[in-house]
Amino acid sequence: MKKIELEIVALSHSITQTHSYAVVLGEINGLRRLPIVIGGFEAQAIAVALERMSPSRPLTHDLMKNFMMAFNVELHEVVINDLQEGIFYSKLVCSSANDTVDIDSRTSDALALAVRFGCPIYTYDTILDQAGILMEDDGKPKPAAAVTSEQGSGDNLKTLSLEELEGLLAEVLEHEDYIRAIAIRDEIKRRSNK
């Protein structure tokens, strides 16, 4: 089967499941999107890597990358290779000096590692046909890694002053809520560009 390369095009709160997030993968040079529901910790791990944030201590996926690098294990690609009863299955294609192996992985963990290693993400037509969404070609460029925040989850960022935003940013960073921090940082940047 021919592999189709994907990229992360969005990360947001899931509208279908409470306390969950959705990572949306887009077909490179194509119009199909593959939404995958993931947990909050995995969404945070992906967001931290996408935004190139540096937590004070390594997150679990950073630890895994450091471990792999220490033992000269390379991550070549992530393949979303199966879909059963709504659950996506993935594998990590890794190699060392002696061998290349496929390692079974939860898709959310595989994506968090792919972002850290900068390796490609693939799937197959059959999976895109089963779970993908076809987007209309409206001619507008799609962002490579847009991160959106849930509206109505407490304070509305647009109503806060710049000083309040900066204080809130410091607070959420202290609690390691990196997804909320990205939304706050983006609002601060938006105001700075005016």
Q: What are the pLDDT digits (tens) for 115-152?
A: 999 999 999 999 998 888 877 665 343 333 333 333 33
CA dihedral 134, 138, 141, 142 (to 10 degrees): -30
Q: Chain-wide mean pLDDT for the chain?
A: 83
Task: Examine the pLDDT at 8 and tell me if it is beyond 90.
Answer: yes
The per-residue pLDDT for 143 is 37
> Does position 11 have pLDDT exceeding 80, yes or no?
yes
- The string of pLDDT tens digits covering residues 167-183 is 887 777 666 666 677 77
Say how many CA atoms lie within 13 Å of 128 toward its Cβ: 22
pLDDT score, position 158? 83
- Is pLDDT at 31 greater than 50 in this prediction? yes
Do the beta carbons of residue 146 and residue 104 sit within 8 Å?
no
> Is the pLDDT assigned to residue 86 strictly greater than 90?
no
Q: What is the pLDDT of residue 25?
A: 94
